[in-house]
Amino acid sequence: MRLDGSVAIVTGASQGIGRAIALEFGRRGARVALAARNAAALDEVTTLIQRAGGRAMPIPTDVTDSTQVERLVQATIRDLGPVDILVNNAGIGLHAPIADARAADVEAMFRLNVLAAGACIRAVVPVMRAQHRGLVINISSVAGRIALPWIGYYSASKFALTVIGDTLRMEESGHGIRVMNVFPGMTRSQFSTNRLGDPGRAPHQRRLAPVPAEKVARRIAQAVERNRNTVYVSWFPDRLGVAGNWLAGWAVSAVLRRWARGAQE
Active site residues: 154
Instruction: Tell me the C-alpha distance between 127 and 83, whole Å.
Output: 7
Residue (of 177, 185, 193) closest to 158 by Cα position: 185
67 to each of 57, 90, 115, 116, how far by Cα in Å? Answer: 19, 16, 13, 11
Residue 11's DSSP bridge partners are 35
190 to each of 5, 18, 101, 117, 193, how far by Cα in Å? Answer: 30, 11, 21, 20, 5
What beta strand segments (E) does 90-160 contain? 94-95, 134-139
